[in-house]
Structure 1
Amino acid sequence: VPNASSRYFLVGTNQAQTKHRVLKIDRTEPKDLVIIDDKHVYNQQEVWELLGRLDLGNRTKIGQKGSSGLSRSLSAFGIVGFVRFLEGYYIVLITKRRKMADIGGHSIYKIEDTSMIYIPNDSVRVTHPDEARYVRIFQNVDLSSNFYFSYSYDLSHSLQYNLTLLQRPYELWSSPTSSAEEEVQKQSKHDSFDIFEDEGLPTQVVYGLQSEPYYKYVWNGKLLERVKDIVHRDWLMYIIHGFCGQSKLLIYGRPVHITLIARRSSKFAGTRFLKRGANCEGDVANEVETEQIVNDASVMSLTAGSYSSYVQVRGSVPLYWSQDISTMMPKPPIRLDQADPYAHVAALHFDQMLQRFGSPIIILNLVKKREKRKHERILSEELYPAVINLNQFLPPENCIEYLAWDMARYTKSKLCNVLDRLSMIAENVTGVLRTNCVDCLDRTNTAQFMVGKCALAYQLYALGMIDKPKLQFDTDCVRLFEELYEDHGDTLSLQYGGSQLVHRVKTYRKIAPWTQHSKDIMQTLSRYYSNAFSDADRQDAINLFLQVYQPSESRPHLWELPTDFYLHQRNTMALPLDRRREFMPKTVGVDPSPFTVRKPEETGKSVLGSKSSKEETLLQRKTAASAPPPPSEEAISSTSEDDSEDDRDDDASVSQRSTPIKLLTESGESTRTQEIQQQSVKEPYGLNLAEFPAAKDLLIYEREPVSCFPEDSIYSLSPPQVDRDSREEFESSVLTGRGQVRALCREDMLMYREYVKNRYM
C-alpha cells in the first residue's frame, strides 16, 4: 500500500488472513534504504484499523473523501529482495506463482512473474544517465524461468538435513508455553507467505522447517543482505535456481510422489564458455546438486510419512582451465590457465563437498581418454594426479574415489552397451557421486539418470513398494522417471549451454527415431549461436543479479570491464592496498595502481598519446591484467623497438625487461645506478646487496662442493669414478634386460633356497 510521496506500507498475511505483519519503507531517501519493522503481529481487525488511521492521516484535507492518503498498489506473494544501482533502491516482488511440488505438506512454488518498483518518489529522485541500462541488464535474468521458493521448507538444504530440524530443540523460534510436539504437528499445515497459522497460539511460534540457508544455492542472498538484520525472519524468503518437478506414481492404487530438485550454485555462476573450471575458492562452474525424493503420498506429513532421498552432484573439472572463444569455433582449445602443483583449488572444492556430504566422495569422470589431437584428456591428466595428491592427506576410509570412463568412445562401439556399464557403476556407488564431462550436460545427464534409476529402485524397495531393488526399462515407472530427468537435463542445459540436451537417454539406448537426429543438429546450432552472441549479456546479467558486481560512481561500468575474472576471484582482491603493494615492484613517490593516470614527466613518455581521460582509463583497464609492470627508465632506454615484439623468446624477454645489478663499479655513474637498483631491491624484498661478500660467507662457499664431478663446465665433462661392484651390478642388469642371464654363483643359490624356504615351507 503506497503513500504517493512519503512511504510504502507492506502488509504480509497468512493464507487464512488471521495474522499480519507490517513493514514501513521510507520514500524520501534518494539513495539509502530505510525500513522499519515493528515486529508486532496484528489480527485482521487491528491491521484494518491501522490502515484506516494511515489513510485518514495522509489525506490532503481532513474529511475529503475524494483524495485518499493510501492507495492499493499490487498484491504479491513474497519479496525477492532490494537492489540499488546508481540511483535509489528498488524492491522486487513476486506477483505470480505456480505450485510445482508438495513435500510433507510443504508447498514448493515456481516464480511466474515479478514486479520491480522504484522506492524513492519523483521529488527526491536524482537521475543518472546509466541507470536505465543497469535496470535492463538486471531484468535480463528472467525470474520467471526456473526460480523456486517455499514458505516453510528450506530448498537450499537436502531432505536429510531438513528432517534433522524435527529432532532439534525449538528454543530458537518457539515460546516456552508451547511444546515441541504441538509445533511439529502444526508444521505441516502451513502453506502461505507468512509463517503463522492458527489463532490462539503464541505469536513467537514459527511453523515450518526454517534454519540458516545454505547460501551456496541461494540466489537472492545478496538482495536480502541489506534487510536481513532489520526485519523479522518471516519476511525473508530465499529462492533457488535450477529445476523442480514432481510426478505421481500409482502402485496398485497406492500414490507415490517422485520429486526431483536441482539446486544450481550461485558461486562462480555463469554461461558455458565464460565459466569453466574453478575459481580460487574452489567453487566450480555449472555446479548443480540434484536430489530425488520418494515418499508415500497417502500420508502428507514429515513426521508420520515415509521418505527417502538421494543426492548426486555435477560440476566442472576443479582446475584452473578455460577455452578461448575470441575466434569462435565448435570446440575451442582447452588451456590450463594457472599452474597448481599442490592441487590447492581441487582441495578447496572437495573440502566443501566433504563438509556438506561427508565421505566417501566418488568422482565419475566421463571425458575422453583417447584422442587424435589432445583436447579433453588434458583435464583428466591434471585431475587424476590432483586426486592422488590429496588422498595422501586423508585417512584411507575417507579417501576420494576416482573412476574415469570414456563414455563417448564406448558409445561409438557396437559391442558395448553404454547403459549397462553405467548400471554396473551405479550399483557400486556407496556415497555421493560427483559426475562430470567437459560441459557437464549431455553425457553427465544420462549418467546421472542411470545412477538415479538404480537409486530409485532401492528407494522404492526401502519403502516397501517393490519386492526387489530392480527396475526395468520400458515400464511405466521408468518412463515417468526418464521424462522427469529429461526435463531436468533440458532445463539445466538451457541455463548453462543455451540449448536443450543434444544427446538423450534414447540416443545412448540407440532407439532414438530418425527425426531425433535433425533435432540434435538444431540443438547444436542453437547452443553455438547462444555461446557466440548472447552469453556475454547473460553473464553480465548474472553478475549484476548476484551482486558479484555492484555499480558505483567510483568504478568502471559493468559493460566497460574487459573481463569479470576479478569479480569471481575474491581472494585476489582480499588483501588491503598496503599489503598488495608488497607483491609488486615499487618506485619511490609513485602510486603503483595500474588504474592511476600518469603524467608524461612521470613515465618518461606519454603512453596513451592524446586520448581523452576516459579512453585512457579504459585502455589501461584492458591491458593491466596481461601487461608486465612498467620498466624503469634504464630498461626503456636500453630496449629497442624491435625488442618489444611479443614473439621474442623467453630468455630475451627476461634480459630486456630486467636491469642487471652491478656489484663492482668503476665510475660514478655506475655507482649511482647501483644505489638506485639497490634501493629498488630493498623496498619489495626487504634486503640490500652488499658490495662484497663477507669473509665467513666466502669460506662457506669454498667449503661446500659445487658438484660431484671433478671437472664440470660447459666445455668439458669428466664423469665421477664408479667402483667395480657398481659397474658389475649395472652390467648384469643390462644383460638380463637383453635376455642374457649370467651364470648363478653359490651366493645366488643360497639366496634362492632361503626365499623358497620362507615363501613355501
Structure 2
Amino acid sequence: MADLLSIHDDIKLYTTSDKFYLEPTIHPTEILVIDRVTGEATVKDVGSVKIPIPANAYRPVCGFLGSIKLISGLYLVVAKYRILVGKLNGHEIYQLAGTDIIPYARSNTHLTSKQIDDNATYERMLRAALDTVGIYFSYSYDLTHCLQRLHSVTPDFHRMSIANRADPRFLWNGFLLRDFSHQQFSRFALPIIQGFVSINNVTVNGHSLTWSLVSRRCVDRAGTRFFMRGVDAQGNVANFVETEQIIERGGEKSSFVQTRGSIPLYWSQYPDIKYKPAMQLSHEDHVAAYTKHLRDQQQRYGNQVLVNLIDQHGKEEALERGFRAAVAAAALPGVRYEPFDFHAECRSMRYYRLNVLIDRIKLEQAEFGYFLSRGGTVLLRQNGVFRTNCVDCLDRTNVVQSLLARLQLNAALRILAVTSTDDEKHTEFDNLFNNVWADHADVISTQYSGTGALKTDFTRTGKRTRLGLVRDGVNSLTRYYKNNFSDGFRQDSIDLFLGKYVVTDGEGNTLPCPLRRDRDWKYITFPSVLLVAMSMFCASASLPQRYTSEVLLYLMFWGAAVTATLTFIFRHGKEFVDWPRLDAGGLAAARALPPPQSL
C-alpha cells in the first residue's frame, strides 16, 4: 500500500511554449512545474496552478526520471512505458519499457549546423543508455538496498524520500535527479536501477512462497567489457554487481547476498581487433587499491571469500599471480583467497568438478549464513559474502554464483519448514530456478559485453550440451564485433548518462566538441584495400576457365595483397577500433600507447 513517501505512478505531462506541467493522475494534490526557459522547477498546490491548455491535451507518462543538459539545452526525461515484474516485499516492481526525452528549447535555431549534428549524436547516446535491457524501478520500494540493509537503518532513513535514501552505488539516474533532490520533489523523483529482477510465486510441498532474484549493477567504474577493467584509485572495480536472492513466505523473509566484480588490480585489456587482446598490469600501487576496495567491501558486507575462477596458466596466469600477491601483501583479516581454475578443472565438459570448489567453501557458507526475519523481527544476519570473479565476471562467475545460491536456497527452505532435507527434488521449481539464473546471466552479460552469457546451457539444464557450445560460438563472434566496432559509442552513452562527461555551454561553437574526431587515414584506406584485394582474389580464383601461369600470378599477387593488408591491420589494430570519444575515463591516453605485450 502506498505511503506518504511513495512516488506518483501515473502522470499527465502538459507541454506549453514556456513550461512543463507534471500532474499526478490519481487524487492530485500537487503539480510539478518546470520553466522551459530558466530550467527552474517547483512543486505547487494543484489548486494554485491553471494550465493554459485543454485538460485532454497531455501525454500520459509513468514516471519522472530527471533532466540532462545537451548542446541545445536541458532535456526532460520521463518513463513512458513499464512492465509489471511482480510484488517484492508487498511492493510492485516494474521494468522500464520505454522513455521520452523532450527538449526544453522550442527549436534549434540558436545552434550551428554542426552543433545540431552533435546534439543529435548526444540524443542517440542518451536513448541508447535508456534503452539498455534491465532497468527497473518501484514507486514505493527502495530497490537499491538489500533486505538486511533495510532492516538495519534508523527511523530517520525511512522519513527520507526513496530517491534521497537510495544507495548511490546503484542509483543509475542519480545524475539526472541531481537538481531534484529537495524534499519538495520527493514524490516525483523516480529512482532506477540497472541489473536484473525476477519475482516468482511458487508452490513447494504445498507451501506458497515468493522466490526473487535481484541484481544491482554499480555506477562507479561502469562501462563496457574491454574499455572498463580492474580498479581505480578510489577502490571501485568494473562490472561490480550485488546479487540478492529473496524468499518470502507469509511474514517470513530470507535474503542471501553475493557480489561480483573485476579483479581489484590496475589492469586493462583494450580492444585491438584481436580476438583476445593482451592483458596489461600497470606499475601502480596494486596493494593500496586492492586494500581500499576490500576494506569498503568488508565494511558493507562483512568477511570476504574471494573466489577467483580465472586460468592459473597461460594468458591469465600473471593476472592470477598478481591477485594472489596483493591478497598476501595486504593480509587483511577476514579475507580469504580461493582460486579455482575453472577451465582446467571443468575441461571436456566435466562440470561435476565444480563440487570440488563447493566442498572447499562450504564451511564459510555455513559461517556467513543469510538474513532471516519473521514478522519484522530479525532472527539471522548474513555476516560475510562470496565475492566471485572471472576475467569478465560474467560466464564462469554466473555458473558458480547459481550453485552457491542453490545451496543457500535449500538451507533456507529447510529452516522455513518448506522442505525436510537439503537435497529434495522439485522438478518444476528446479527448472524455474535454473532458467531464471540463466536469464539473469544473459541480461548482466548483455549490459557489460553486449551479448548474452556463455555456458547458460549448464545453468539451465545442469550439463553442457553441443547446442550450447554452438550458441556460445555465435555469442563469442557477436561479442568480438561489438567489443571492437561499436562499444566506443556504448561507453560514451554510459558516461553521458551517468554524468561522467558533462556537456558544456558553447560546446561545438566557442568550445571544441569531442564528438568531432577525425579518423586516421588508415581507418578508411586499409579496409578498402582489403576489400578490393579479397574481391580480386576471389574473382581470379573463380572466373577463369583454366588456370594459366598468368592467372596463377594474379592469384599470388592478390593473395599477397590480402595477407599484407591483414597483417598491417592487425599490427595497428587500435586504429580500427571504435574508441570512446568523450574520454571520461582517460581512454585517449590508452589509445596512444604502443601495442601491449601479453602478460
TM-score calculated relative to the size of structure 1: 0.60
Identify which range, 306-315 or 343-352, moves more after superposition. Answer: 343-352
- Displacement of 1:488 after TM fit? 0.3
Q: Give the equivalent residue in structure 2 for 1:402.
A: 337
Tell me if structure 1 keeps the 8 A contact 2:291–2:330. yes
Match of 1:667 in 2: none
Instruction: Report the alpha carbon displacement of residue 283 of structure 1 after superposing the two structures with TM.
Output: 1.0
- Shift of the 115–9 alpha-carbon distance from structure 1 to 2, 3 Å rule, reads same
Q: Who is 1:601 aligned against?
A: none
**How do residues 592-671 of structure 1 correspond to structure 2 at under 5 angstroms?**
none
Identity %: 31
Shift of 1:468: 2.6
For residues 289 and 414 of structure 1, do their structure 2 counterparts lie closer, same or farther at Cα, with a shift above 3 Å needed? closer
Closer/same/farther in 2, CA of residues 561 and 222 from structure 1, 3 Å limit: farther
Name the residue aligned to 1:386: 326
Find the counterpart in structure 2 of residue 138 from structure 1. Answer: 126
Query: Shift of the alpha carbon at 1:210?
Result: 7.3
Q: 1:11 is aligned with what amino acid?
A: E
Q: By how many angstroms is 1:143 displaced?
A: 3.3
In the alignment, what sits opposite 2:86? 101
Considering only CA atoms, is the larger Rg found in Structure 1 or Structure 2? Answer: 1
CA contact under 8 A between 2:33 and 2:43: conserved in structure 1? yes
Report the residue type matching 1:544 in the other structure: L
What is the match of residue 351 of structure 1? 295
**CA–CA distance in 1 between the matches of 2:163 and 2:99?**
24
Specify the alignment match of 1:692 in structure 2. none
Distance 1:233 1:286, change over 3 A: same
Report the alpha carbon displacement of residue 148 of structure 1 after superposing the two structures with TM.
0.3
1:29-56, Cα deviation, whole Å (9 max, x unpaired): 2xx4211223x4x5xxx4xxx56xx25x
Alignment of 1:125-204 (within 5 A): 128-129=115-116, 130-143=118-131, 145-165=133-153, 168-169=154-155, 173=159
Which of residues 59, 71, 75 is equivalent to 2:60?
75
Structure 2: stretches of 5+ with no match in the other structure: 1-12, 369-383, 519-582
Amino acid at match of 2:142: D
Partners of 1:336 and 1:123 lie apart in 2 by: 47
Equivalent residue for 1:338?
A: 283
RMSD, matched Cα:
3.0
Distance 1:626 1:154, change over 3 A: closer
Name the SS for the 1:325 alignment partner: coil
Deviation at 1:125, TM superposition (A): 5.8
Aligned to 2:386: 433
CA contact (8 A) 1:364 1:433 kept: yes
1:489 to 441, 461, 483: 441
Residue of structure 1 in register with 2:376 after alignment: none
Q: Partners of 1:272 and 1:123 in 2: how far apart?
A: 36
Counterpart contact for 1:3–1:70, Cα < 8 Å: no
**Contact 1:101 1:259 survives alignment (8 Å):** no
Give the superposition deviation at 1:543: 0.8
Contact 2:93 2:137 in 1 (8 A): yes
| Among 28, 31, 35, the residue aligned to 1:22 | 31
Aligned 1:700-711 pairs, distance under 5 A: none
Do the aligned partners of 1:422 and 1:450 also contact (CA within 8 Å) in 2?
A: no
Taking the aligned partners of 2:588 and 2:445, their CA distance within structure 1 comes to 34
Deviations 1:178-232 (A, max 9, x none): xxxxxxxxxxxxxxxxxxxxxxxxxxxx8x9776111111110010002213743
> Equivalent residues in 2 for 1:453-602 (5 A)?
453-472=406-425, 475-504=427-456, 506=458, 511-552=463-504, 553=507, 556-560=512-516
Aligned partners of 1:136 and 1:34: how far apart in 2?
25
Per-residue CA deviation, residues 130-179 of structure 1 (Å, 9 max, x unaligned), is: 222211122122436210001111111101112335xx436973xxxxxx
* Paired position in structure 1 for 2:354: 419
SS at match of 2:140: coil
Tell me how far apart the structure 2 counterparts of residues 625 and 409 of structure 1 sit (CA, whole Å): 32
CA shift in 2, pair 1:151/1:514, >3 Å: same
Matched to 1:410, the amino acid is E
Classify 1:108/1:561 alpha carbon distance in 2 versus 1 (closer, same or farther; 3 Å): farther
Give me the whole-angstrom Cα distance separating, in 2, the residues matched to 1:250 and 1:506: 24
Which secondary structure does the structure 1 equivalent of 2:129 belong to?
A: coil
Higher strand share: 2
The Cα of 1:464 is off from its aligned counterpart by 1.6
Bigger mean CA deviation after superposition, 227-236 or 536-545: 227-236
Deviates more, 1:287-296 or 1:243-252: 243-252
For 2:178 and 2:257, the matched residues in 1 are separated by 29
Change (3 A) 1:437 1:415: closer
Per the alignment, residue 322 of structure 1 pairs with 268
Q: Partner letter of residue 307 of structure 2?
A: L
| Structure 1 unmatched runs, 5+ | 59-67, 174-205, 300-304, 563-617, 629-645, 648-761
Residue 425 of structure 1, CA deviation: 4.0
Q: Distance in 2 between matches of 1:18 and 1:487?
A: 38
Name which structure has the greater RCO, CA cutoff 8 Å, separation 6+.
Answer: 2
Name the CA distance, whole Å, in 1 between partners of 2:143 and 2:323: 31
Q: Which residues of 2 match residues 692-703 of structure 1 at below 5 A?
A: none
Letter paired with 2:261: G
* 1:532 to partner: Cα distance: 1.7
Secondary structure in structure 2 of the residue aligned to 1:347: helix
1:454 and 1:471 in contact (8 A); partners too: no
Q: In the alignment, is residue 35 of structure 1 matched against residue 41 of structure 2? A: yes
| Among candidates 203, 213, 217, match of residue 260 of structure 1 | 213
Q: For 1:369, which of 312, 315, 331 is the aligned residue?
A: 312
Q: 1:123 & 1:496 partners in 2: Cα distance?
A: 34
Query: TM-score, with normalisation over the residues of structure 2?
Result: 0.76
Contact 1:273 1:325 (C-alpha < 8 Å) held by counterparts: yes
Corresponding residue to 2:178 among 225, 241, 266: 225
Provide the residue aligned with 1:586 in structure 2: none
CA shift, 1:365, in A, is 0.5
Report the counterpart of residue 75 of structure 2 in structure 1.
90
Between the aligned partners of 1:288 and 1:171, the Cα distance in structure 2 is 24
> Using the alignment, how far apart are the partners of 2:349 and 2:78 within structure 1?
54
Q: Give the Cα separation in 2 of the matches to 1:445 and 1:72.
A: 48
SS at match of 2:31: strand
Taking structure 1 as reference, are residues 377 and 85 closer, same or farther at Cα in structure 2, changes over 3 Å only? same
The letter of the residue matching 2:445 is S
- Given that 2:79 and 2:98 are in contact with CA atoms closer than 8 Å, whether structure 1 keeps it comes out as yes
The 2-side partners of 1:478 and 1:436 are apart by: 25
Shift of 1:558: 3.8
Distance 2:163 2:20 in 1: 28
Alignment CA distance shift 1:25-1:406 (3 Å): same
Cα separation, 1, equivalents of 2:217 and 2:157: 32
Give the AA of the match of 1:412: R
CA distance 1:118–1:257, change in 2 (3 Å): same
Distance in 1, Cα, partners of 2:457 & 2:356: 14
Aligned partners of 2:588 and 2:142: how far apart in 1?
Answer: 45
| Matched residue type, 2:87 | D
Q: Flag the 1:462–1:172 CA change in 2: closer, same or farther, 3 A.
A: closer
Structure 2 distance, partners of 1:624, 1:505, is 40
8 A contact 1:426–1:451 mirrored in 2: no
What's the offset of the Cα at 1:470? 3.3
CA distance in 2, matches of 1:308, 1:97: 28
TM superposition shift of 1:466: 1.1
C-alpha distance in structure 1 between counterparts of 2:60 and 2:275, whole Å: 47
